[in-house]
Amino acid sequence: MAGNDMAPQPDQALSERKRRYAEEVERLVGEGVENPRCELTREVSLEKDDAKSRADFVKLVQGLANAHLTEERFLVIGADKKERRFYPVANPGQFDQAKVTAILRRYLEPLPLIEVFDTMETAQDIPYVLVVLSARQPRPVVTIGEIKLTNKESGETSFLLRKSSVWIKVGTGLQEASSQDFESILEERIETEAESRARARLAYFREELVAGIQMGHTGAQRIPSRDLVYGSDETFRLYCQEILHAGSESLAAMLLELFRDILIEGWNELSAYDPDAVADPRAFLSDVDKFRTDIFLPALRRVVEFGLLLIKHEANEEWFRKTCDVLQDVFDSSHRLVRLGSIDSIQQPVSIDEYRGREMPALEAFIGFRTLTYYAIKRERYQYLRNPLKRRVRPVGSQPGVLRPILFWPLRIVTTGPEGPIALFWERRIKNVWAGYFRSHTDYVASACQLEFVLEFNSYLAVGEGGKEYKDWFEKNNHNLSLIYRSDIWRYRLGYSEPLAEKMIDAIYRGLDDRLIDCLLLDKTMLYGTLGKVEPVERIAVVGGYLRYLEKNQAAYMFDRNRFPFQITWSAKSKNAIEAYDKVEKSKTS
């Protein structure tokens, strides 16, 4: 019909825009003059091994986005200002819109509004790349990632891009934003958003300033949304602290439901729950890899962060339980992600960073649980250990009815990397994401060893190492639950665990109804059934026997590896427990 013939076509509009951009760019290059809204660079590499070029590109885009301009801005790749000529771009494949966006999202927040034209050509058919930034940008754009460069000879590390920096193009130069620049940006926001408190935020640190701007004038009452999950760390933490302070159960519930939608329902985007076979496993692996990297892992890390903040501020234990519910639901989703099983058939995991198979969600949830319990122990807030310790799950791939505690490595996969879970989780996850909660690696190891102390103690009782009476009681009251455990405690000095051993001795001495006992045992009735009528001094023998067991088994572990055992000097309290155990054992043979 005539009406349709007259309608403007999107392709024609795009073609016209590209023609207009090409004319303007060629004019600017031909003039060779500096222009506030245009940057020319002869070449750019976005490869990971070219850290300087990648950092320069990110800063250029950030600087143009933050510039005090009301027009579109251009970044031309393949042009030399001094020579006033174009040079063919040798790597146009690196400048696909999706690839460039993914790189910028990794380092900048909010994401600048850009459009990439990677097939531009001059009138002389010289290919170049054009990045167009919209006239209106979500300023200030702040760096949320770092790019470092290590000198191979000296070993010295320099920062090419620092976290929380704000670069801005002023005139024809690139510089870090000044307080006057922030003032100008905030004035703009005042005009557009009627933000009455914007000026006051200049007094705060740069990250807090940007976080406050993003949260907007409604503050913590903002409804949780995906931009909060995928925004800056400071924005997310500030939001969580606000709802904790306000005690808003509705916002906490909405945040947890948002996590569940992303982490569990999100797999429907890949039809990962579909029982039908995957037509192209390698293409599916690529899709899973993108979802895992860009969507799943960032959201799961936010769930764990929320749990860490609950522990840090001794917040509502019911909120913590619901946070653990989300992590367990993520673990259980691995049972239904049958299509991820096709990846297991073509991928042999080298490390947890490379694993994409069916147990990947379960593995990441398990690491999340471990991180929360490590931190609860570090802060001596054992009430937050109770809930994860008592959770039971069906290991992925096992028959229904077979259960294991979720903290007992209920997984089949074997990954390579640093030996043992304590070192593995630190190197592959915690060091890069949650290290700030542990202050130092030594504090982390101490907390992790104390968790191993707790887990091995439960296994010690349940499998009968501490006496047949405990095993019989456990099996009678815990059908289909396995507490066989391969501990990581043997690799580390037992002295790391002694602070918790002393607390356990005190709790058992006070009485079996002591709250700490319930926080440290999967089933405290194991002690009720065997120690209920025993005198306090004799009750602590159960811990003394466990300490003897640890000494003996660590020595055997070390000798098997041609190493000498660690020397251990127990405290007076621990020695008393060991002496009580020796006395009980002696009475059995007399």
**What are the distances in angstroms from CA 227 to CA 185, 188, 211, 244, 278?**
21, 22, 12, 20, 32
Contacts of residue 288, defined as CB under 8 A and 6 or more positions apart, other chains included, come to 270, 272, 340, 343, 356
* Numbers of helices and strands, H then E, in the chain: 25, 14
Both structure tokens of 262 = 């992303």
87 CA to centre of own chain: 41
CA gap 172, 175 in Å, rounded: 10
- pLDDT, residue 190, reads 59
CA–CA dist 559, 150 (Å, integer): 39
The two tokens of residue 420 are 């043992």
Q: Is a pLDDT exceeding 90 seen at residue 367? A: yes
pLDDT surpasses 50 at 393? yes
Residue with tokens 């929380």: 164
DSSP 568: -
Would you state the pLDDT for residue 189? 66
Residues with Cβ within 8 Å of residue 69, at least 6 apart in sequence: 36, 37, 135
pLDDT in tens, 523-570: 887 777 666 667 877 889 999 999 999 999 999 999 998 998 898 899
Distant-in-sequence, close-in-space partners of 281: CB < 8 Å, separation ≥ 6: 342, 343, 345, 346
188 phi/psi in degrees, rounded to 5? -65, -40
Pick the closest to residue 566 from 505, 498, 499, 466 (CA basis).
498
Question: Which pair of structure tokens corresponds to residue 342?
Answer: 């096709």
Place of tokens 């807090």: 208
Rounded-to-integer distance, Cα 373 and Cα 310, Å: 12
Cα dihedral sign, 26-30-31-34: positive
Local confidence band at 7 (pLDDT 50, 70, 90 cut-offs):
very low
| Residue 218, pLDDT above cutoff 70 | no
Using one digit for the tens of pLDDT, what is the confidence trace for 71-125? Answer: 999 999 999 988 899 999 999 889 999 999 999 999 999 899 999 999 999 999 9
Judge contact between 427 and 434, C-beta under 8 A: no
Give me the amino acid identity at 588.
K
Contact 581, 552 (CB under 8 A): no
Question: pLDDT grade, residue 9 (50/70/90)?
Answer: very low
d(CA 381, CA 96): 49
| 414: Cβ contacts below 8 Å, ≥ 6 apart | none
- pTM over 0.75, yes/no: no
| pLDDT given for residue 377 in this prediction | 98
Q: How many CA atoms lie within 13 A of 258 on its CB side?
A: 19
**Separation of alpha carbons 2 and 199, rounded Å:** 56
- Asked whether residue 492 carries a pLDDT value surpassing 90, the answer given is yes
pLDDT at 455 over 90: yes
* DSSP one-letter code for 394: P
Residue with tokens 């319930």: 518
Beta bridge partner(s), residue 76: 40, 130
pLDDT in tens, 580-590: 999 988 887 76
| Residue found by looking up tokens 């006057």 in the block | 180
DSSP 94: G
Asked, as a colleague might, if the bond just before 499 is cis with ω within 30 of 0, I would say: no
pLDDT at 244 over 70: yes
What share of the chain in percent tops pLDDT 90? Answer: 56
Is pLDDT at 249 greater than 90 in this prediction?
yes
Coil, helix or strand at residue 13: helix
- Per the prediction, the chain carries an average pLDDT of 86
Give the residue extent of every domain in the chain: 2-176, 179-215, 248-439, 442-590
Give the integer Cα–Cα distance in Å for 344 and 158.
Answer: 39
3-state secondary structure of 40: strand
> Do the strands 38-41 and 73-77 form a parallel or antiparallel pair, or are they unpaired?
parallel
Q: Would you say residue 22 has pLDDT above 60? A: yes
| Under 8 Å between Cβ of 523 and 586 | no
d(CA 72, CA 20): 13
Q: In the CATH scheme, what is the code of domain 2-176?
A: 3.30.950
Residue 316 phi, psi dihedral angles, 5° rounding: -50, 120
Burial 500-518 (b: 16+ CB within 10 A, else e): bbbbbbebbbeebebebbb
Report the interhelical angle of 297-312 vs 360-378 (nearest 10°). Answer: 20
Whether residue 217 has pLDDT greater than 50: no
Please tell me the distance from the alpha carbon of residue 62 to that of residue 109, in angstroms, as a whole number. 10
The mean per-residue pLDDT over the stretch 127-137 comes to 93
What mean pLDDT is predicted for residues 393-397?
Answer: 89
pLDDT in tens, 419-436: 789 999 999 899 989 999
Lowest mean pLDDT among 161-170, 187-196, 474-483: 187-196
Q: Take residue 96 and report the two structure tokens written for it.
A: 């696909």
Whether pLDDT at 204 is above 60:
no
Concatenated DSSP letters of 270-320:
GTTT--SPPS-HHHHHHHHHHHIIIIIHHHHHHHHHHHHHHHHTT--HHHH
Instruction: Work out the angle between the directed axes of helices 360-378 and 383-390 (0-180°, nearest 10).
Output: 150
